[in-house]
Chain A
């Protein structure tokens, strides 16, 4: 049981390049999320997918796109990377089949992806 797996762990891009961060979970969770973490800013939500087939913007969606490929996979794409997108990106999932009162809200995070845009 791997939990949440995200790739790559490290990536260096030049301004204007594109890339996709991949995320997969094997816990049969309904909801998946992409956060970015910057010093002093905490974890800021980029996009989330409450269930398969739906995606919604979070606090900082500009410059990003997402795809919920299936129930397991949720990818984050940077179409034209900018230095302001240098950050650590975390994918997370939540929401088993047991319902709200039994811990469905608990987020399980991936190990993180450190992205540097030059």
Chain B
């Protein structure tokens, strides 16, 4: 089955700096790569996703890149703010209505 590895497990940045979280996946058939944010005590919520027919996607301060050849994808957060502090999960799946496999999470701390 699919295996998703995520690094780093913790990340501390100064407010205003950028943060980068990296993930690799094992199954070359995976074609959908979402990122979820989980604030303390809350449920995970989708913040951005990318499909395999696209190499990069941006939404305001967050962007994702996908390298299908190397089977890795990354989340980039620019101009970080204290409210970005949370646990971020990458994930991978194949097609519609298929199971989603998550990475182990990155705890991001933005220091004011």
Contacts and interface: CB of A to CB of B under 8 A. Distances in A.
Interface string B12-48: 0000000000000000000010101000000111100
Interface stretch (B58-66, B68-76, B78-86, B89-97): B89-97
**Which of A35, A41, A109 is packed against the most chain B CB atoms within 10 Å?**
A109
B67 interface: no
Contacts of A13: none
Given A33-B99, A95-B97, A110 B43 contact: yes
B1 interface: yes
B89 A31 contact: no
Contact of A105 (B49, B89, B101): B49
B45 A45 contact: no
B12 to A, nearest CB: 17
Interface of A: 30-31, 33, 35, 40-45, 48, 50-51, 56, 58-59, 90, 94-95, 99-101, 104-107, 109-112
